[in-house]
A = this chain, B = another copy of it.
């Protein structure tokens, strides 16, 4: 099947993309939409407290229970549920058991926001 420029010939399977990930907290871009990116990530343990000054960040949980810690309380996000962390709001994801999640955010967002540290992955 031929496609116009930039149209992939098939859908992207998030399970397949996740199975290629061997490291926790290392997101993989699976799709681009306008200037946004969709990523999948495997997480376990506790991340770093951080915020993104310029953007909201969407978490959609595919499997496992993700706790998004906020300074005012925790939000539990279970499979099939989503939560949007508003820009500027400090948060720290945490998972006692492995969680598979999808993220949607603008291209170029640094995963640790303004916090830096060992989890930081610079965008390509």
Inter-chain contacts of A26 with B (CB < 8 A) = none
Q: How many copies of this chain does the complex contain? A: 2
Inter-chain contacts of A31 with B (CB < 8 A) = 58, 82, 84
* A86-B72 Cα distance, complex, nearest whole Å: 39
Q: Answer yes or no: A20 CB below 8 A from chain B CBs.
A: no
From B2, B4, B10, B106, contact of A34 by CB (8 A): B106
A-B complex: 5 closest residue pairs judged by Cβ atoms = A1-B73, A11-B81, A11-B77, A33-B56, A11-B83
Known A-B contacts: A4-B72, A4-B86. Give 15 more (CB < 8 A): A6-B86, A7-B85, A7-B86, A9-B73, A10-B83, A11-B61, A11-B76, A11-B83, A12-B81, A30-B82, A32-B56, A32-B84, A33-B105, A38-B58, A60-B102
